[in-house]
Protein backbone atom coordinates (compact mmCIF):
# COMPACT_ATOMS: atom_id res chain seq x y z
CA UNK A 1 0.00 0.00 0.00
CA UNK A 2 1.25 3.47 -0.85
CA UNK A 3 0.74 5.52 2.30
CA UNK A 4 0.47 9.28 2.19
CA UNK A 5 3.08 10.82 4.40
CA UNK A 6 2.92 14.51 3.64
CA UNK A 7 0.07 15.98 5.61
CA UNK A 8 -0.71 19.47 4.25
CA UNK A 9 -3.19 19.11 1.40
CA UNK A 10 -5.25 21.62 -0.53
CA UNK A 11 -7.35 18.75 -1.95
CA UNK A 12 -11.02 19.37 -1.16
CA UNK A 13 -11.44 15.68 -0.35
CA UNK A 14 -8.65 15.73 2.28
CA UNK A 15 -9.58 15.84 6.00
CA UNK A 16 -10.24 19.38 7.31
CA UNK A 17 -7.06 19.51 9.38
CA UNK A 18 -4.84 18.78 6.38
CA UNK A 19 -6.41 21.62 4.42
CA UNK A 20 -6.02 23.98 7.40
CA UNK A 21 -2.37 22.99 7.63
CA UNK A 22 -1.89 23.79 3.95
CA UNK A 23 -3.37 27.25 4.62
CA UNK A 24 -1.21 28.00 7.70
CA UNK A 25 0.67 31.31 7.86
CA UNK A 26 4.30 30.95 6.68
CA UNK A 27 5.36 34.53 6.05
CA UNK A 28 6.41 36.73 9.00
CA UNK A 29 5.31 39.89 7.16
CA UNK A 30 1.83 38.44 6.67
CA UNK A 31 1.57 37.57 10.36
CA UNK A 32 2.55 41.14 11.34
CA UNK A 33 -0.05 42.45 8.91
CA UNK A 34 -2.82 40.13 10.14
CA UNK A 35 -2.25 41.28 13.72
CA UNK A 36 -1.66 44.94 12.87
CA UNK A 37 1.67 45.03 14.73
CA UNK A 38 3.33 48.44 15.18
CA UNK A 39 5.86 49.43 12.49
CA UNK A 40 8.73 50.00 14.95
CA UNK A 41 8.29 46.47 16.27
CA UNK A 42 8.34 44.95 12.77
CA UNK A 43 11.98 46.00 12.44
CA UNK A 44 12.78 43.37 15.11
CA UNK A 45 11.18 40.56 13.09
CA UNK A 46 13.20 38.25 10.83
CA UNK A 47 11.93 38.19 7.25
CA UNK A 48 13.29 34.84 6.12
CA UNK A 49 14.30 32.89 9.22
CA UNK A 50 16.42 29.75 8.84
CA UNK A 51 13.86 27.88 10.99
CA UNK A 52 10.77 29.08 9.08
CA UNK A 53 7.65 30.59 10.58
CA UNK A 54 4.68 28.22 10.63
CA UNK A 55 1.39 28.83 12.46
CA UNK A 56 -2.19 27.72 11.74
CA UNK A 57 -4.69 30.57 11.32
CA UNK A 58 -6.88 29.25 14.14
CA UNK A 59 -3.95 29.75 16.54
CA UNK A 60 -3.36 33.28 15.20
CA UNK A 61 -7.04 34.00 15.95
CA UNK A 62 -6.29 33.47 19.68
CA UNK A 63 -3.69 36.26 19.67
CA UNK A 64 -4.48 39.84 20.62
CA UNK A 65 -4.36 42.22 17.65
CA UNK A 66 -1.81 45.02 17.89
CA UNK A 67 0.06 43.47 20.85
CA UNK A 68 3.70 42.59 20.08
CA UNK A 69 3.96 41.03 23.57
CA UNK A 70 1.10 38.59 23.09
CA UNK A 71 2.23 35.31 24.74
CA UNK A 72 1.08 33.15 21.82
CA UNK A 73 2.71 35.41 19.24
CA UNK A 74 5.98 35.34 21.15
CA UNK A 75 6.13 31.55 20.80
CA UNK A 76 5.95 31.61 17.00
CA UNK A 77 7.29 34.92 15.67
CA UNK A 78 10.96 34.83 14.58
CA UNK A 79 12.76 37.77 16.17
CA UNK A 80 16.25 39.06 15.42
CA UNK A 81 17.13 38.06 19.01
CA UNK A 82 17.49 34.51 17.64
CA UNK A 83 20.62 35.47 15.70
CA UNK A 84 22.50 36.34 18.87
CA UNK A 85 25.13 33.71 19.70
CA UNK A 86 25.02 33.02 23.46
CA UNK A 87 27.62 30.80 25.18
CA UNK A 88 26.08 27.56 26.45
CA UNK A 89 23.35 27.51 23.78
CA UNK A 90 24.12 24.99 21.01
CA UNK A 91 22.72 22.72 18.28
CA UNK A 92 22.14 19.57 20.37
CA UNK A 93 21.32 20.68 23.94
CA UNK A 94 19.93 17.33 25.09
CA UNK A 95 22.61 15.14 23.48
CA UNK A 96 20.43 13.04 21.20
CA UNK A 97 21.82 13.56 17.71
CA UNK A 98 23.16 10.25 16.42
CA UNK A 99 22.64 8.18 19.61
CA UNK A 100 19.85 5.71 18.70
CA UNK A 101 20.12 1.94 18.00
CA UNK A 102 18.46 2.35 14.54
CA UNK A 103 17.49 5.30 12.33
CA UNK A 104 14.49 7.11 13.83
CA UNK A 105 14.77 5.32 17.17
CA UNK A 106 16.04 6.89 20.38
CA UNK A 107 16.44 4.60 23.34
CA UNK A 108 17.68 6.84 26.10
CA UNK A 109 14.86 6.14 28.55
CA UNK A 110 14.59 2.93 30.60
CA UNK A 111 11.66 0.73 29.50
CA UNK A 112 10.51 3.05 26.74
CA UNK A 113 11.71 3.89 23.27
CA UNK A 114 11.11 7.08 21.39
CA UNK A 115 10.35 7.02 17.68
CA UNK A 116 11.17 10.20 15.78
CA UNK A 117 8.30 9.77 13.32
CA UNK A 118 8.71 12.97 11.35
CA UNK A 119 10.42 16.35 11.37
CA UNK A 120 7.18 18.09 10.46
CA UNK A 121 5.01 20.04 12.91
CA UNK A 122 1.85 22.12 12.61
CA UNK A 123 3.56 25.04 14.31
CA UNK A 124 7.17 26.08 14.67
CA UNK A 125 7.92 27.01 18.27
CA UNK A 126 10.88 29.36 18.38
CA UNK A 127 12.32 27.75 21.54
CA UNK A 128 12.13 24.19 20.19
CA UNK A 129 15.09 22.01 21.19
CA UNK A 130 14.72 20.05 17.96
CA UNK A 131 15.03 23.09 15.68
CA UNK A 132 18.53 21.90 14.78
CA UNK A 133 17.79 18.16 14.66
CA UNK A 134 18.91 16.40 11.43
CA UNK A 135 15.43 15.20 10.43
CA UNK A 136 16.53 14.42 6.89
CA UNK A 137 18.18 11.32 8.39
CA UNK A 138 14.97 9.93 9.93
CA UNK A 139 13.15 7.14 8.05
CA UNK A 140 10.33 8.23 5.75
CA UNK A 141 8.25 5.36 4.40
CA UNK A 142 7.12 2.53 6.63
CA UNK A 143 9.62 0.22 4.87
CA UNK A 144 12.45 2.48 6.09
CA UNK A 145 11.19 1.82 9.62
CA UNK A 146 11.97 -1.91 9.51
CA UNK A 147 15.36 -1.61 11.31
CA UNK A 148 13.74 0.42 14.12
CA UNK A 149 10.84 -2.04 14.42
CA UNK A 150 13.31 -4.95 14.47
CA UNK A 151 15.33 -3.23 17.23
CA UNK A 152 12.14 -2.76 19.29
CA UNK A 153 11.07 -6.38 18.73
CA UNK A 154 14.51 -7.59 19.84
CA UNK A 155 14.44 -5.77 23.21
CA UNK A 156 11.90 -7.22 25.68
CA UNK A 157 12.77 -4.58 28.30
CA UNK A 158 10.83 -1.98 26.29
CA UNK A 159 7.17 -1.74 27.31
CA UNK A 160 6.21 1.61 25.88
CA UNK A 161 6.57 3.10 22.41
CA UNK A 162 6.61 6.85 22.38
CA UNK A 163 5.78 8.63 19.15
CA UNK A 164 7.61 11.92 18.95
CA UNK A 165 9.01 14.20 16.27
CA UNK A 166 8.59 16.85 15.14
CA UNK A 167 4.97 16.11 15.70
CA UNK A 168 3.75 12.57 15.02
CA UNK A 169 0.23 13.84 14.35
CA UNK A 170 1.58 15.80 11.39
CA UNK A 171 1.58 12.35 9.76
CA UNK A 172 -1.55 11.10 8.06
CA UNK A 173 -3.84 8.67 9.85
CA UNK A 174 -3.32 5.84 7.36
CA UNK A 175 0.44 6.01 7.97
CA UNK A 176 0.00 6.19 11.76
CA UNK A 177 -2.56 3.37 11.79
CA UNK A 178 -0.12 1.13 9.92
CA UNK A 179 2.68 1.99 12.37
CA UNK A 180 0.41 1.41 15.40
CA UNK A 181 -0.57 -2.00 14.03
CA UNK A 182 3.09 -2.95 13.59
CA UNK A 183 3.87 -1.84 17.15
CA UNK A 184 0.89 -3.73 18.56
CA UNK A 185 2.28 -6.90 16.98
CA UNK A 186 5.39 -6.68 19.20
CA UNK A 187 4.31 -8.76 22.22
CA UNK A 188 6.31 -6.99 24.97
CA UNK A 189 4.98 -3.52 24.09
CA UNK A 190 2.05 -2.51 26.30
CA UNK A 191 1.57 1.22 25.82
CA UNK A 192 1.55 3.67 22.96
CA UNK A 193 2.24 7.26 23.91
CA UNK A 194 1.90 10.19 21.51
CA UNK A 195 3.65 13.49 22.21
CA UNK A 196 1.91 16.16 20.16
CA UNK A 197 1.09 19.86 20.03
CA UNK A 198 -1.51 19.41 17.28
CA UNK A 199 -4.64 19.10 19.48
CA UNK A 200 -3.71 22.53 20.86
CA UNK A 201 -2.68 24.43 17.73
CA UNK A 202 -4.94 22.66 15.23
CA UNK A 203 -7.78 21.08 17.25
CA UNK A 204 -9.51 19.86 14.08
CA UNK A 205 -6.78 17.19 14.07
CA UNK A 206 -8.66 15.23 16.76
CA UNK A 207 -11.16 13.63 14.39
CA UNK A 208 -12.72 10.17 14.11
CA UNK A 209 -9.89 8.81 11.97
CA UNK A 210 -7.34 9.71 14.65
CA UNK A 211 -9.37 8.24 17.50
CA UNK A 212 -9.94 5.05 15.49
CA UNK A 213 -6.27 3.99 15.31
CA UNK A 214 -5.32 5.49 18.67
CA UNK A 215 -7.92 3.42 20.52
CA UNK A 216 -8.04 0.56 18.00
CA UNK A 217 -5.08 -1.59 19.05
CA UNK A 218 -4.43 -3.65 22.20
CA UNK A 219 -1.89 -1.02 23.34
CA UNK A 220 -2.99 1.36 26.11
CA UNK A 221 -2.99 4.82 24.50
CA UNK A 222 -1.67 7.96 26.17
CA UNK A 223 -1.45 11.46 24.75
CA UNK A 224 0.84 14.20 26.01
CA UNK A 225 -0.11 17.60 24.58
CA UNK A 226 1.97 20.75 24.75
CA UNK A 227 0.26 23.93 25.92
CA UNK A 228 2.12 26.82 27.55
CA UNK A 229 -0.47 29.52 28.17
CA UNK A 230 -4.18 29.52 29.10
CA UNK A 231 -4.98 31.68 26.03
CA UNK A 232 -4.11 28.66 23.88
CA UNK A 233 -7.19 26.89 25.24
CA UNK A 234 -10.13 28.23 23.25
CA UNK A 235 -13.44 26.44 22.73
CA UNK A 236 -12.31 24.37 19.77
CA UNK A 237 -9.23 23.19 21.70
CA UNK A 238 -11.34 22.36 24.75
CA UNK A 239 -13.62 20.28 22.53
CA UNK A 240 -10.65 18.43 20.98
CA UNK A 241 -9.23 17.58 24.40
CA UNK A 242 -12.70 16.47 25.48
CA UNK A 243 -12.90 14.10 22.50
CA UNK A 244 -9.61 12.48 23.50
CA UNK A 245 -10.62 12.04 27.13
CA UNK A 246 -14.12 10.84 26.23
CA UNK A 247 -12.55 8.22 23.95
CA UNK A 248 -10.73 6.86 27.02
CA UNK A 249 -7.32 8.30 26.23
CA UNK A 250 -5.55 9.63 29.35
CA UNK A 251 -4.28 13.06 28.34
CA UNK A 252 -1.44 14.95 30.01
CA UNK A 253 0.19 18.30 29.35
CA UNK A 254 3.81 19.26 29.04
CA UNK A 255 4.61 22.98 29.20
CA UNK A 256 7.92 24.75 28.80
CA UNK A 257 8.78 27.58 31.19
CA UNK A 258 9.27 30.57 28.88
CA UNK A 259 10.26 34.16 29.65
CA UNK A 260 7.60 36.60 28.50
CA UNK A 261 5.09 33.79 27.97
CA UNK A 262 4.28 32.00 31.22
CA UNK A 263 6.93 33.00 33.79
CA UNK A 264 4.51 34.29 36.40
CA UNK A 265 2.50 32.43 39.02
CA UNK A 266 -0.94 33.70 37.95
CA UNK A 267 -0.48 32.53 34.35
CA UNK A 268 0.85 29.11 35.37
CA UNK A 269 -1.87 28.60 37.98
CA UNK A 270 -4.56 29.56 35.48
CA UNK A 271 -3.04 27.24 32.87
CA UNK A 272 -3.07 24.30 35.30
CA UNK A 273 -6.61 25.01 36.46
CA UNK A 274 -7.98 25.33 32.93
CA UNK A 275 -6.26 22.05 32.03
CA UNK A 276 -7.73 20.09 34.93
CA UNK A 277 -11.14 21.62 34.23
CA UNK A 278 -10.75 19.99 30.81
CA UNK A 279 -9.65 16.71 32.50
CA UNK A 280 -6.07 17.09 31.27
CA UNK A 281 -3.36 16.56 33.90
CA UNK A 282 -0.39 18.94 34.08
CA UNK A 283 2.56 16.54 33.76
CA UNK A 284 5.78 18.46 33.24
CA UNK A 285 6.90 22.06 33.41
CA UNK A 286 10.18 21.87 31.51
CA UNK A 287 13.15 24.09 31.94
CA UNK A 288 14.18 25.42 28.53
CA UNK A 289 16.66 23.24 26.64
CA UNK A 290 19.54 25.51 25.70
CA UNK A 291 19.23 25.37 21.93
CA UNK A 292 20.95 28.07 19.87
CA UNK A 293 18.62 31.03 19.22
CA UNK A 294 16.43 30.50 22.31
CA UNK A 295 18.40 32.38 25.00
CA UNK A 296 15.81 35.17 25.23
CA UNK A 297 13.27 32.59 26.46
CA UNK A 298 15.34 31.34 29.40
CA UNK A 299 14.01 31.72 32.95
CA UNK A 300 16.60 31.21 35.74
CA UNK A 301 16.08 27.97 37.68
CA UNK A 302 15.84 29.95 40.93
CA UNK A 303 12.83 31.80 39.54
CA UNK A 304 11.36 28.51 38.31
CA UNK A 305 11.64 27.03 41.81
CA UNK A 306 9.93 30.08 43.33
CA UNK A 307 7.09 29.75 40.83
CA UNK A 308 6.71 26.06 41.66
CA UNK A 309 6.48 26.88 45.38
CA UNK A 310 3.61 29.23 44.58
CA UNK A 311 1.87 26.61 42.47
CA UNK A 312 2.18 24.04 45.26
CA UNK A 313 0.57 26.52 47.66
CA UNK A 314 -2.28 27.36 45.32
CA UNK A 315 -3.22 24.12 43.53
CA UNK A 316 -4.22 20.57 44.42
CA UNK A 317 -1.33 18.12 44.06
CA UNK A 318 -2.76 16.46 40.96
CA UNK A 319 -2.95 19.84 39.22
CA UNK A 320 0.71 20.69 39.87
CA UNK A 321 3.25 19.71 37.21
CA UNK A 322 6.76 18.41 37.89
CA UNK A 323 9.46 20.98 37.22
CA UNK A 324 12.19 19.16 35.28
CA UNK A 325 15.08 19.56 32.92
CA UNK A 326 16.81 17.29 30.41
CA UNK A 327 20.47 16.75 31.18
CA UNK A 328 22.49 15.12 28.35
CA UNK A 329 23.38 11.51 29.12
CA UNK A 330 20.81 11.02 31.91
CA UNK A 331 18.21 8.28 31.33
CA UNK A 332 15.22 10.48 32.14
CA UNK A 333 14.35 13.96 33.25
CA UNK A 334 15.95 15.51 36.31
CA UNK A 335 13.59 17.10 38.89
CA UNK A 336 14.42 20.70 39.75
CA UNK A 337 12.01 21.29 42.63
C1 LIG B 1 10.64 13.91 28.43
C2 LIG B 1 10.15 13.62 27.17
C3 LIG B 1 9.78 12.34 26.81
C4 LIG B 1 9.80 11.11 27.71
O5 LIG B 1 9.94 11.30 29.05
P6 LIG B 1 8.99 10.65 30.18
O7 LIG B 1 9.69 10.97 31.44
O8 LIG B 1 8.90 9.20 29.88
O9 LIG B 1 7.66 11.29 30.06
C10 LIG B 1 9.34 12.19 25.52
N11 LIG B 1 9.23 13.18 24.65
C12 LIG B 1 9.55 14.43 24.98
C13 LIG B 1 9.38 15.52 23.98
C14 LIG B 1 10.02 14.70 26.24
O15 LIG B 1 10.34 15.96 26.54
S1 LIG C 1 5.42 21.41 18.05
FE2 LIG C 1 6.95 20.50 19.41
S3 LIG C 1 8.51 19.63 18.05
FE4 LIG C 1 7.28 21.07 16.83
S5 LIG C 1 8.35 23.01 16.94
FE6 LIG C 1 6.85 23.03 18.60
S7 LIG C 1 7.97 22.24 20.38
FE8 LIG C 1 9.16 21.70 18.55
pLDDT tens across 17-29, in order? 999 999 999 999 9
Ligand 2, atom nearest to 128 Cα? 8
Mean pLDDT, to the nearest integer, of 7-20? 89
How far is 70 from 54, CA to CA, in rounded Å?
17
pLDDT value, residue 99: 65
Which letter does DSSP use for residue 285 in this model?
E
Cα(59) to centroid(ligand 1), Å = 24
The residues facing 224 across adjacent strands are 195, 252
Residue 95 pLDDT exceeds 70: yes
Binning pLDDT at 50, 70 and 90, where does residue 1 land?
very low
The span from the first CA to the last CA of the chain, in angstroms, equals 49
Is any ligand 2 atom within 6 A of the Cβ of residue 18?
A: no
pLDDT value, residue 165: 86
Percent with pLDDT over 70 in the chain: 95
Q: What is the pTM of this model?
A: 0.95
What residue owns the CA closest to ligand 2's atom 6? 125
Which letter does DSSP use for residue 169 in this model?
G
Which class for 38: exposed (0-12), middle (13-18), buried (19 or more C-beta within 10 A)? Answer: exposed
Is any ligand 2 atom within 6 A of the Cβ of residue 121?
A: yes
Half-sphere exposure of 191 (CA within 13 A, CB side): 16
pLDDT value, residue 129: 77
pLDDT value, residue 18: 96
Angle at 259 between CA 134 and CA 167, to 5 degrees: 35
Mean pLDDT, to the nearest integer, of 208-227? 98
pLDDT value, residue 141: 78
pLDDT value, residue 310: 98
**Mean pLDDT for the chain overall:** 93
Cα(162) to centroid(ligand 1), Å = 8
Is any ligand 2 atom within 6 A of the Cβ of residue 124?
A: yes
Which class for 314: exposed (0-12), middle (13-18), buried (19 or more C-beta within 10 A)? Answer: middle
Amino acid sequence: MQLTEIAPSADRAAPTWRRLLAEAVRDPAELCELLGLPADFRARVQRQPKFPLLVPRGFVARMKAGDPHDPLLRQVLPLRDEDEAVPGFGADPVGEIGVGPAPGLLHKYVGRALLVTTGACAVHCRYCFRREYPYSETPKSLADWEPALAALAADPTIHEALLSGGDPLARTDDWLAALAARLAAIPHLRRLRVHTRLPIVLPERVDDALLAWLTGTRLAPYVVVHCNHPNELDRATAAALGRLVDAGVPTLNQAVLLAGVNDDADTLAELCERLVDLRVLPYYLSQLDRVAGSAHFEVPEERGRALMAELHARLPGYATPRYVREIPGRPGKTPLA
